[in-house]
Structure formats: C-alpha cells, structure tokens
Structure 1
C-alpha cells in the first residue's frame, strides 16, 4: 500500500505555532474509543430526556390528536437519525471532531465561522437545561427548608456540570449510565400519575383534541430542527464509539451507533413528548417540574426532582458542553485548552437568559435550524459526494496546506452556507429541509465546477482510496509531537 506524504511542508510554518493542534481535537485512535452500544444508548436516552422535549409534545397535542403527535414525532426523529448516521461516520472513520472536519469544506480559518455559531447555540442550550435543572433543585430545597431562590442553584448547578464535563468523555459516559435508568423510572411514574389525573377529570389522554391551529408538517419539521445541532456535530461523540477492526462496510463500522440513534433516540424522544402532551392535557402545564410539585409530597417529590436534575445534567454534558467546548478549542488552541473551553461555554450559556428563550422555543428552533441545517447539507456533500469518505487528515492540521484555499477560507463552503441559510430562513416551517438540500447542492456544484480545479484536493485526484481512509482499512491517524508529523498506524481493536 502506498502511503501519502504526511509530514509538514518544509517551507510552511509549523502547525504548532498556528493554533491548529491541541490534544483534545487530534484524531481519536481505535484503542481510545471506549463507548459501546449500551454506553451510546445510555447517552442518547440521557440526551433525549430534555424538559424542552415536553413542550414539543404539549404543543403538538394542543392542535392534533395524541396518536397523530406520536406518529409524527416518531417518524421525524427516525428520519433525523438516518441523516445523523451520515455525519456520524466522520467520527467513526477518521476519529475527527466536528470543528476540525469543517476545515475541509470551509478552510482552516473559515471553519471558525460556522463552528463557533454551532458552539454558541450549544452554549445557549446549556443555559436552558441548567435553568430547568435549577428550578428542580430549588423545588427540593424549598420543600425541605422553605428557602426559595432558583438563581443560586442556577449558578451552582452550572459550576458542577462544567467540572464534570471538563473531566472528559469517561465522566460523561459514567453519568449517562446512572441517569438513563433514572430517566426511564421517572418517565413511567409521570405517565401513570398523569393518566390517573386525567381520568379523574373525565378526560381521555388519547382522544383529547386541542383547538389551536397546528399542521402535521409544522410539528414534523419542528422536531427535525430540534436535533439539527447534534445532526451536524455528532462526530464529537461518535469518534469515541468502538469500531471493529477492518470494518469496511458502513453498517459494520457504525454498528454501535445504529441501535442508539435509530432506536433509542426516536423512542425516547417520542415517549417524553407523550408525557409532555399528557401533562398539558391532565394538568394544563407541560413543565414536569410544576406537575411533580403539584402531585407529589415527601420522599417521592425529592426523588423525582433529583431525577429531573440528573436528566438535565446528562443532556448538557454530551449534547451541549462538549460540542461547544470543542469549537472553542478549535478556534483558540493552543492557548484555549479543553477545560478552559468548557468553562467559557458554561459562562456563555449561563448568561444567555434561557427563561426568555423558552417562551419562544419554536421561533428559536426554526431560526438556528435554518443555519445549522445548511451546514449539515454542506458536510454530507463534501464528505460523500466530493471526497467519497476519503480525507487528507494531516492537511487539516496544516496552516498553508491543502485546506488553506483562499487565505484560509474556502469560498465554496462559505458561499453555500450564506446562500442556503438565507433561503432556509425565509422558508418558514420548511427551513430545515430547504437549508439542508440547498447547502448540499450549492456546495457540491461550487466544489466540482470551481474550487477543486483551482485548489487541487489530493484525496479526490488520487487513484488510491485506501491511503485516505482509516478505520475501514484498519488504520489510525496518529500525530507524533516529536517530529511534528502525522503517520498512519495499524489500529487496535476498539
């Protein structure tokens, strides 16, 4: 097998002096990947149990029968999970984080524009989840002591989560393994309690029909947009998922991912939405914290509130703090290390006034979904249609290398993102679909007709495919700090 030249150009500045290298954003080797099927499933259950998900169910049942709401949300999340498996392969094949991969379609400097936008959205979601968790903490303390001050717990809860996430992916996986069973327990209790409450009021949860105007398509697209954030940066997590040696096939390479994303995500998301709908029907309030406080006392109230806190905590670490931190590391390395980036994400999220955002959740979802869906389309076009999964990974860490393009920016990626984001933003409910498809088409055409001809991409013009692949050919991308160079090394069993 021919091996490409992977060392730095002799006439180019060392990448270590140009903020492209930092340990937390180097490719993850096979032996470093510790998350299996069950671990990834626990993570997804923890992620899906967001209190904001309850609001999606409540909004759905305010205008549609619950059976329709269930079918729409289940289908929407399954479709999104399918799209997510495409971007997930960037992590399982090459061990790359989201922000580092964006150096390919956007350039070594251009990556910071879309990746930091995603990082800010993730940080804001951290604030939302922290706020909801703080309400639960405040409820516990108020019941026990009479002291009611959610703002104090808002700050304390934020600090604890930042510390946990800064400890690394193993701490995140451990928390999810504890939180996920707790989440299942609390959800079962909540449904049974709400069903009894509804029956006592003479209401059947499954035949109730609200009177607010809502279309099936609006609910479908809102649920797709809900996870558009993770649809693009899921490689941040999947690069830690175990992969078998020489897993040449897409399905075998991503086998640990399929159960979590295609089963755990849709089922958990739909189940939580059902509880939100039942809460709205039976208690007139989608927020489970208020329902728990109204329906429970004593030890059961404390336990349930603790479980709510765990749910928000597990979501925040995997879905919000890690993605945000890695984008900040990518932009500020080597001065900004991973723990520092986690702190920055925590501060931004804490100051984002999430209580105001929750009052306009659907508008928030569709607004940022417009921009993020376009990034997803660009990633899929670049990774599959342009490069065919081949990637010159060492050049991602070169300032003056292949991905320098025009002054560090790839005009194709930036123009495609700008055009498709504008189209999506003014497409109303169809924002996610319009953004994804237009981003894919525009970027693909600009790369093929313009950029590739002007800025040759080695993995595209090369006759050999294997030298630009990693996991599927039993190899790892490895960086040697002593020689400041990358090598491909045989990958161990993951």
Structure 2
C-alpha cells in the first residue's frame, strides 16, 4: 500500500526475503476504540450481511429467536476475535506474520495464500451483491436502461451489460480507497460506519410511515417450527452467524495490529 514505508520498522538484520512494507511491524499504533467500532459497523452492514440475516428468518425462526441467535453468534465471534487479535496487537504485525509462529516461515505461506483466495472470492461476492443495488438505482433514475439490466436480452455469463458496468464501477471505487493505504481506509470507515446506521434509521422510519404499523410483521417465515426442530434450527442459525464472520474473525489481526491497546 502507498505510504507504508514511513509507517513501519525494519528490524536490524531482517531477511529482505521475509519482510516488506505490508508486513513489517508498525512504528505507531493509532487506532482507538471508535476506529474498531466503526470498522465493525461498516463490516456488518453490507448486502451479504442483510442476506445472511434474512436467511435466518427463512429457516422458520421467529423474530426474537433470530435476535437471540444473532447475539449468541456475535458473542462467540467477539470472544474469538479478542483471542486472534492479541499477537498482532502486541507485535504490530498482520495475520500472515503471526502464522509463522505456528506454521513456520515457509509453512505460513499456505494459510496466507488460502486466506488470500478466500478474500478475493469474498471481495467479488460483496461487490457483485452491491452491484445489484446499484443497477436498481440506475434503472430507477433512468427507466430507459431497464432492457440493459435484463441478462436475457443483453447479457452473458449470467450478468447483464448494466450489471457488468455497475460491478466495474464499484470495483474501481473500492480499489481507489484501498490503494491509498490503511489511513485512508480508517478515515473512510470512520465516516461510513455511523453514516450507514443513520441512513438505515431514516429508511426504517420512512418505510414504516408509508406502510403503517399494522402492516409490519416481524415473523417473516412462511412456516413455524415446534419442539426439537426449534432448538436444532436455532443452533444452525448461530453457526451461520459465526461462519459469516469467519473471514474477518480469522484475519482480525490485520485490523488489531493498528490498535493502541488490547
């Protein structure tokens, strides 16, 4: 990332084959509690997160059961993230370096590469889901573009022409933020984390005012579970919540390395 050279320390005698600007220990850890909080706010509120939460209702759970499953799953993630964060926060190094303690210098390349492949796929999935929202907005503003959003009329490999355009736009916008370095990302999420909640609250108030309280139903499933099926489905919902956060949970050291304190 740009600007990293002035932010890291190269230990004396370090092998140049085993260190670079992205994984060297940080000179100064600047992130505080609000920065970490804003990171999670931004991470949770994504199209993938909404889809996952919606799937819990589709399992047949009631609203309070979904809420309880989310809370249990999130506390498991919270506990695991605090354990994962320790070595990176204390050393100022990312996941790929911390792995060397368990896997060895060469062996650590394996989990680092696996993590990289998962990150590429997840980045693509999130960008793909977000691009659908952008396509809807485009068609809403320009109804004449509707036919270009139809993959059957103008599309290939399962995506419409407008879908490819929206995907490319979001890909470039995200890349521009990433290429400017972690300080740019920190400022971005510090603003976007709370902003997403504000927009969500405004939209919720607007939708309820338009629909009316009588038309608000918190039980979204078309079937109701009873007996042991409730417990087994609840456990599956908790597992789904934990698995959704498994990516940032595993790699949380990449964020916690910037933290001022544990």
Q: Give the TM interval when normalised to the shorter protein.
A: 0.7 to 0.9
Change (3 A) 1:54 1:197: farther
CA–CA distance in structure 1, aligned partners of residues 207 and 117 of structure 2: 36
- RMSD of aligned alpha carbons: 2.3
Matches within 5 A, 1:446-461: none
Match of 2:15?
A: 15
SS of corresponding position for 2:26:
coil
Picking from 31, 37, 49, the partner of 1:35 is 31
TM-score under structure 1 length normalisation = 0.43
What is the CA-CA distance between 1:166 and the residue it aligns to? 1.4
SS of corresponding position for 1:132:
helix
Give the number of equivalent residue pairs: 229
Unaligned residue ranges in structure 1 (runs of 5+): 1-5, 9-13, 244-253, 255-494
What is the CA-CA distance between 1:37 and the residue it aligns to? 1.4
Match of 1:223?
A: 241
Q: Deviations over 1:455-477 (max 9, x none)?
A: xxxxxxxxxxxxxxxxxxxxxxx
Match of 1:321?
A: none
Matches within 5 A, 1:345-360: none
CA–CA distance in structure 1, aligned partners of residues 78 and 182 of structure 2: 22
Match of 1:51?
A: 47
Picking from 86, 91, 114, the partner of 2:88 is 91
Match of 2:197?
A: 184
CA–CA distance in structure 1, aligned partners of residues 219 and 243 of structure 2: 27
Match of 1:307?
A: none
CA–CA distance in structure 2, aligned partners of residues 234 and 71 of structure 1: 24
Change (3 A) 1:75 1:196: farther
What is the CA-CA distance between 1:190 and the residue it aligns to? 3.6
CA–CA distance in structure 2, aligned partners of residues 99 and 208 of structure 1: 42
Change (3 A) 1:94 1:144: same
Whether 1:140 aligns to 2:137 is: yes
CA–CA distance in structure 2, aligned partners of residues 208 and 22 of structure 1: 50
Q: Deviations over 1:7-58 (max 9, x none)?
A: 65xxxxx722xx31101100113xx222111122111101111111112222
Structure with higher RCO (Cα < 8 A, 6+ apart): 2
CA–CA distance in structure 2, aligned partners of residues 197 and 157 of structure 1: 31
What is the CA-CA distance between 1:176 and the residue it aligns to? 0.8
Whether 1:129 aligns to 2:141 is: no
What is the CA-CA distance between 1:226 and the residue it aligns to? 0.9
CA–CA distance in structure 1, aligned partners of residues 219 and 169 of structure 2: 42
CA–CA distance in structure 2, aligned partners of residues 110 and 207 of structure 1: 48
Change (3 A) 1:233 1:208: closer
Unaligned residue ranges in structure 2 (runs of 5+): 1-10, 150-161
Contact 1:42 1:176 in 2 (8 A): yes
Change (3 A) 1:187 1:210: same
Picking from 205, 209, 218, the partner of 1:206 is 218
Change (3 A) 1:211 1:196: farther
SS of corresponding position for 1:189:
helix
Change (3 A) 1:44 1:132: same
Contact 2:177 2:184 in 1 (8 A): yes
TM-score under structure 2 length normalisation = 0.79
Contact 1:27 1:96 in 2 (8 A): yes
Picking from 22, 37, 41, the partner of 1:24 is 22
